[in-house]
Homo-oligomer: A and B are copies of this chain.
Amino acid sequence: MDTRPHVVIVGGGFGGIEAARALRRAPVRVTLIDRTNHHLFQPLLYQVAMAGLSPADIAAPIRHILHDVKNCDTLLGEVTAIDLAGRRLDVDRADGERSWVAFDFLVLAAGARTTWFGHDEWARSAVGLKDLDEAVEIRRRVLVAFEAAEAETDADARRRLLNFVVIGGGPTGVEVAGALAELGRFVLARDFRHVRAEELRVILLEGGPRLLPAFPERLSAYAAERLGRLGVEVRLGALVSDIRPDGVCVGEEHLPSATVVWAAGVGASPLTAGLGVPLDRAGRVIVAPDCSLPGHPHVFAIGDIAAYPHTDDGRPLPGVSPVALQQARFVARQIAADLQKKPRGRFRYLDKGSMATIGRSAAVAVIGRFAFTGLFAWLVWLAVHIFFLIGFRNRLMVLINWAWSYFTYNRGARLITGRRLHAGPPASWPHEHPPGP
């Protein structure tokens, strides 16, 4: 019987993996639970949606990443309930059975998922971009829309197929819109006979007054200008009133479109709803200065599932991987401190910068007091992302894929999978199992 304290980590994203690693020498046993078998390199997910990379290029088995962390078990399963008082989780396991898993410490790192700001019916028409299934579904819709337009002679139907609407002007929306314009332009021009690249329309809708609101204003203007050069129509102050299978309504205007990408709404995993602790508007757990849940010092929440209101400048932390990584290491230290009966500390975020890419060879980056644009920012972006991609093979594959598509203007993963043939949202989307931890 193993008498070491049991630390359960829910979620195998950046925070969960890092927490398990940071606990490798602590006198505890660790179980990491995730409902998928893979860690996903989220920053490159848009590349899968745009047929530039394969799913396996940006995902590695959690069990493999942690195979040399000897005090850690990996469990494939979905956490369906958390009993904070009883210190146990209900887990729906891969063998089809459910069981209670007891814990001494709990680290919630289940991340975020697509949310619809109270308009869940929009999920039937648009696709978010938070997991591999969504990325592959976007890829399918984009490629099928091109194919359908090639055979379509009716002008209205053709316009709807060749209009692509991206909602949300943050980094994800900017990246998707830029990549979509490039994908369409080169692929349509080269491989299609009856669709001209000029017929493609990519519309990026942002509700606020500028793109990339978390970046300096100069970079927002640069991003809008670069996207314009790629042929993207950027519309600021555009409030979406409805999303339907035939298109998007912006105020009174109707934009016909078969393919709508939703990059506007992200909320915490639905797990938080049952905890009985205070949440913010996005469903995130409002944590104490030591990242624990108020009244439950042995339970922590890190990364996108947590709201941390205790920053020095009072501004919320961004939903990026460095926050999750730093919180993971901090929380591992607090658990070790508890076991040594030492006092806990207070989490402080060290901001190392942020960046977003805008198509081939252009990006924006903020590092400390410095803001960069253009090719240099893009090379920094490339280097950072390749460096942090987990696993040697993935890094090499991604580099080769990119070099190949950069020099040939080609796309390696233009694959329509699944047995559905028709353009637009299928009747079976979203799938019955919602994304979870």
Could you say which residues of chain B place their CB within 8 Å of the CB of A59? 415
- Does residue A5 face the partner (Cβ distance < 8 Å to B)? no
List A residues 392-429 near B (Cβ within 8 Å): 392-393, 396-397, 400-401, 404, 410, 412-424
Determine if B414 and A64 form an interchain contact, defined as CB atoms under 8 angstroms apart: yes
Query: In whole angstroms, what is the CA distance A56 to B266 when docked?
Result: 29
Task: Contacts A54-B56, A151-B94 given; indicate if A35 touches B421 (C-beta within 8 A).
Answer: yes
**How far in angstroms is the closest Cβ of chain B from A29?**
11
Determine if B94 and A421 form an interchain contact, defined as CB atoms under 8 angstroms apart: yes
Q: Among the listed B54, B93, B432, which residue makes an inter-chain contact with A151, where contact means beta carbons less than 8 Å apart?
A: B93
Query: In whole angstroms, what is the CA distance A432 to B419 when docked?
Result: 8
Query: In whole angstroms, what is the CA distance A365 to B182 when docked?
Result: 45
Determine if A435 and B419 form an interchain contact, defined as CB atoms under 8 angstroms apart: yes
Could you say which residues of chain B place their CB within 8 Å of the CB of A191? 61, 63-64, 67
Determine if B37 and A76 form an interchain contact, defined as CB atoms under 8 angstroms apart: no
Determine if A95 and B433 form an interchain contact, defined as CB atoms under 8 angstroms apart: no
Determine if A433 and B420 form an interchain contact, defined as CB atoms under 8 angstroms apart: yes
- Does residue A38 face the partner (Cβ distance < 8 Å to B)? yes
List A residues 100-157 near B (Cβ within 8 Å): 132-133, 136, 143-144, 147-152, 157
Q: Among the listed B64, B161, B418, B420, which residue makes an inter-chain contact with A95, where contact means beta carbons less than 8 Å apart?
A: B161
Query: In whole angstroms, what is the CA distance A433 to B422 when docked?
Result: 12
- Does residue A190 face the partner (Cβ distance < 8 Å to B)? yes
A321-363 toward B: CB 8 Å interface, digit per residue (1/0)?
0000000000000000000000000000000000000000000
List A residues 39-67 near B (Cβ within 8 Å): 54-57, 59, 61, 63-64, 67
Interface size on A (CB < 8 Å)? 67
A61-91 toward B: CB 8 Å interface, digit per residue (1/0)?
1011001000001111110000000000000
Determine if B415 and A95 form an interchain contact, defined as CB atoms under 8 angstroms apart: no
- Does residue A36 face the partner (Cβ distance < 8 Å to B)? yes
Determine if A413 and B192 form an interchain contact, defined as CB atoms under 8 angstroms apart: no
- Does residue A92 face the partner (Cβ distance < 8 Å to B)? yes
Determine if B400 and A36 form an interchain contact, defined as CB atoms under 8 angstroms apart: no
Task: Contacts A37-B416, A151-B77 given; indicate if A96 touches B424 (C-beta within 8 A).
Answer: yes
- Does residue A281 face the partner (Cβ distance < 8 Å to B)? no
- Does residue A193 face the partner (Cβ distance < 8 Å to B)? yes
Could you say which residues of chain B place their CB within 8 Å of the CB of A151? 75-77, 93-95
Query: In whole angstroms, what is the CA distance A54 to B404 when docked?
Result: 17
Query: In whole angstroms, what is the CA distance A149 to B435 when docked?
Result: 23
Determine if B423 and A95 form an interchain contact, defined as CB atoms under 8 angstroms apart: yes
- Does residue A431 face the partner (Cβ distance < 8 Å to B)? yes
Task: Contacts A63-B192, A133-B417, A415-B56 given; indicate if A94 touches B148 (C-beta within 8 A).
Answer: yes
A3-36 toward B: CB 8 Å interface, digit per residue (1/0)?
0000000000000000000000000000000011
Could you say which residues of chain B place their CB within 8 Å of the CB of A77? 151, 421
Determine if B36 and A416 form an interchain contact, defined as CB atoms under 8 angstroms apart: yes
**How far in angstroms is the closest Cβ of chain B from A86?**
21
**How far in angstroms is the closest Cβ of chain B from A225?**
32
Query: In whole angstroms, what is the CA distance A12 to B360 when docked?
Result: 32
Could you say which residues of chain B place their CB within 8 Å of the CB of A76? 144, 147-148, 150-151, 416, 421
**How far in angstroms is the closest Cβ of chain B from A17?**
14
A-B contact pairs, 16 of them (CB 8 A): A37-B414, A38-B416, A67-B191, A74-B150, A76-B144, A77-B421, A94-B148, A95-B149, A95-B151, A95-B157, A95-B422, A132-B417, A133-B417, A133-B418, A396-B404, A397-B397
Chain A residues in contact with chain B, CB under 8 A?
35-38, 54-57, 59, 61, 63-64, 67, 73-78, 92-96, 132-133, 136, 143-144, 147-152, 157, 161, 190-194, 392-393, 396-397, 400-401, 404, 410, 412-424, 431-433, 435
* With A35-B421, A56-B413, A136-B417 already in contact, 15 other A-B pairs whose C-beta atoms are closer than 8 Å: A37-B416, A54-B54, A76-B151, A76-B416, A92-B421, A93-B151, A94-B144, A94-B147, A94-B148, A95-B148, A95-B157, A392-B404, A397-B397, A400-B400, A418-B431
